[in-house]
Amino acid sequence: MDAIEIETVAEPTLSDPVLIEGLPGVGHVGKLAAEYLLEEFESELVRRVYADEFPPQVSIDEDGVAELVCAEFHAVETDGRDLLVLTGDHQAGSNAGHYRLTESFLDVAEGTGVADLFALGGVPTGELIEEYHVLGAVTDAGLKPDLEAEGVEFREDEPAGGIVGVSGLLLGIGGRRGLDATCLMGETSGYLVDPKSARAVLEVLEGILDFELDYESLEDRAEEMEEVVGKIQEMQNQSAQMPTDDDLRYIG
């Protein structure tokens, strides 16, 4: 196969669509948010993107049928803006691969009429958090007011080190192509899959793109993760109460 192959599955009929990217990353925030959109709205698979930058493996479905790993584009019609949702289980394995794949993703998006996009992801805090904030980055300062009205924060020099992977390159390359590009990053500990952070990001999209979601299923996942977090905290507390080496010197 070629280094990158794009398979046309269907031709979408979308009106003024916006690209939503959610590939694996910190806390799987973007991937979880994008996949939740596909769960909550009717969607149609329209493109598959195969690349030798993806891991050399196949996925196996419930019927035991193998499929070469790929990224997928789904067309989604909502009560507000129509969406072209990019999802997948992998990112590229090299720096050059990230660039080539991002260019291909943008080719697909522009070919379906996309003029603006939202890259979704997480920004790690390194600690468990209670209140979830969404950080933003844009290709044009004129995009900030509407985002700030939805509670998005723009912090100087954050995230530290910039935005890596496809999410960052969608802004960098997309901006050079003249697209209005935004990255929404939900704060997350970075330790676990984070449904609460994904919800915070989705709530921003609701306000910007004028659609509504039912979060019942996502709340169930959040409760499951809270149980896991609770067990982790309990183990940490038990560790803190264990005697130190200095304490052990006085035990006869």
The amino acid present at 197, given as its one-letter code, is S
This prediction has a pTM of 0.89
User: Vertex 112, ends 206 and 179: CA angle to 5°?
Assistant: 65
Confidence bin at 248 (pLDDT 50/70/90): very low
Are 107 and 100 contacting, i.e. CB atoms less than 8 angstroms apart?
A: no
User: How many separate domains does the chain show?
Assistant: 1
Q: What is the pLDDT of residues 41-78, one digit of tens each?
A: 999 999 999 999 999 999 999 999 999 999 999 999 99
Residue 170 belongs to some domain of the structure: yes
Other CB atoms within 10 Å distance of the CB of residue 151: 13
Residue 32 belongs to some domain of the structure: yes
Lowest mean pLDDT among 11-25, 196-210, 238-252: 238-252
Residue 42 belongs to some domain of the structure: yes
Range of the domain at 143: 4-214
Residue 234 belongs to some domain of the structure: no
Q: What is the pLDDT of residues 76-98, one digit of tens each?
A: 999 889 999 999 999 999 999 99
Residue 238 belongs to some domain of the structure: no
Residue 249 belongs to some domain of the structure: no
CATH of the domain at 121: 3.40.50.10900
Residue 210 belongs to some domain of the structure: yes
* Arithmetic mean of pLDDT, 190-215: 93
Are 41 and 77 contacting, i.e. CB atoms less than 8 angstroms apart?
A: yes
Residue 242 belongs to some domain of the structure: no
Q: What is the pLDDT of residues 28-43, one digit of tens each?
A: 999 999 999 999 999 9
What DSSP letter does each residue of the chain carry, written as one string?
Answer: --SEEEEE------SS-EEEEE-S-GGGHHHHHHHHHHHHS-EEEEEEEEETTS-S-EEE-TTS-EEE--EEEEEE--SSS-EEEEEES---SSHHHHHHHHHHHHHHHHHTT--EEEEEEEEE-SS--SS--EEEEESSGGGHHHHHHTT-B--TT-STT---HHHHHHHHHHHHTT-EEEEEEEEE-SSS--HHHHHHHHHHHHHHHT-----HHHHHHHHHHHHHHHHHHHHHHHHHHSPPHHHHTT--
